[in-house]
Amino acid sequence: MCDCCTESKKDIYLPQMATVTDTRLMNETEMYLKLTMDDGPFDFQPGHFVELSIAGIGEAPFTIASSPTQKGGFEVVVRRIGNVSNAIHALKAGSKIGVRGPLGDGLYPVQEAKGKNVLFVCGGIGLVPQRAFINYVLDNRSEYGEVAILMGTKNYDQRFFQEELAGWANRDDITFVETLDTGDPRWEGRVGVVTTLIEGVKDLLGNAVVPVCGPPIMYKFVLMTLEEYHVPHDRIYLNLERKMKCGVGKCGHCQINDLYCCMDGPVLKYSDLAAVPEAI
């Protein structure tokens, strides 16, 4: 029998086991986890997501938060909002967890963006999937043009990856600007919504790829602002991970007309969403 007949193929419906190698609570609701697959290497690209499962409880989709340039497993951030996420928050280093993936066909444009400026617009938990592409760009810094990261968070207590953000702020080869929606005695930085930061980096927009991820209301106003600066729709990338469930186009939870966020996304060009405004 030939090798192709005996070679085992990964079943997209069957979780593979992974080991939790590190965890930390980043704020009241966000938990960071680092995972390594028990059966060997895990190949992914920025924008891929995984389905994480806890036996007897269920599964949920989470976009990978780390770059493939950073070896030794992959990272996710899980917000505590339900039964699955509560169970994941209870895991410790050494715990086992089921993983399906990597999933998704719509990924961040790591190749298309080379030689161009890149402007990341992140809102709250939207930093998590963007972080995979951000760190990919930073690890291949010479291949990209000007890089700016705009970060908006609702309030001081919801900030996370604080040490990493401080590292970005101290780099001289990128622009990093952070703002809070509401002020706080502990905060000495900018106050206001993230769209107010775009004016300060408008000069790089003429040749910029613009990945955007955050809450739905943020998309509305970020897109309006980018329209004012005449950014072409085919250079704006939106992450629609919040709409997904099964991850393989079977449950219909993320279907919007002919679009399946899990199959066609989770990252999609704004120009490709013109016929499905309900997706935004």
The CATH number of the domain holding residue 71 is 2.40.30.10
Cα separation, 78 vs 82, in Å, equals 11
Cα separation, 58 vs 54, in Å, equals 6
Both 171 and 263 in a single domain?
A: yes
Tell me the average pLDDT across 202-223: 95
Cα separation, 239 vs 224, in Å, equals 17
Instruction: Give the range of the structural domain holding residue 245, as residue numbers without chain letter.
Output: 117-275
Closest CA to 112 of 271, 275, 277: 271
Both 168 and 228 in a single domain?
A: yes
Cα separation, 165 vs 271, in Å, equals 30
Whether 211 and 267 have beta carbons less than 8 Å apart is answered as yes
For 58-115, write each residue's pLDDT tens digit: 999 999 999 999 988 999 999 999 999 999 999 999 999 999 999 999 999 999 999 9
Both 61 and 137 in a single domain?
A: no
Both 162 and 267 in a single domain?
A: yes
Cα separation, 269 vs 215, in Å, equals 17
Whether 233 and 261 have beta carbons less than 8 Å apart is answered as no
Both 98 and 122 in a single domain?
A: no
Residue 112 forms part of a structural domain: no
Q: Which residue has better confidence, 161 or 275?
A: 161
Of 103, 133, 148, the domain-final residue:
103
Q: What angle do CA 214, 217, 218 make, to 5 degrees?
A: 45
For 167-196, write each residue's pLDDT tens digit: 999 999 999 999 999 999 999 999 999 999
- Which SS3 state, helix, strand or coil, does residue 137 take? helix
Give the percent of the chain with pLDDT over 90: 81
b vs e for 86-107, b when ≥16 Cβ sit within 10 Å of the residue's Cβ?
Answer: ebbbebeeebebbbbbbbbebb
Both 134 and 163 in a single domain?
A: yes
Both 132 and 212 in a single domain?
A: yes
Q: Among 9-13, 220-224, 226-230, name the one with the lowest average pLDDT.
A: 9-13
Both 171 and 128 in a single domain?
A: yes
The CATH number of the domain holding residue 197 is 3.40.50.80
Of 103, 131, 154, the domain-final residue:
103
Residue 85 forms part of a structural domain: yes
Residue 146 forms part of a structural domain: yes
Both 246 and 174 in a single domain?
A: yes
pLDDT of residue 9: 57
Residue 39 forms part of a structural domain: yes
- Summarize the chain as % helix, strand, coil (round to 5): 30, 30, 40
Whether 207 and 123 have beta carbons less than 8 Å apart is answered as no
Both 68 and 123 in a single domain?
A: no
Residue 164 forms part of a structural domain: yes
Number of domains observed in the structure of the chain: 2
Closest CA to 54 of 98, 101, 100, 102: 98
Residue 186 forms part of a structural domain: yes
User: What's the pTM?
Assistant: 0.93
Both 61 and 200 in a single domain?
A: no
* 8-22, 122-136, 250-264, range with greatest mean pLDDT: 122-136
For 230-263, write each residue's pLDDT tens digit: 999 999 999 988 778 898 888 888 888 888 888 9
Both 28 and 141 in a single domain?
A: no
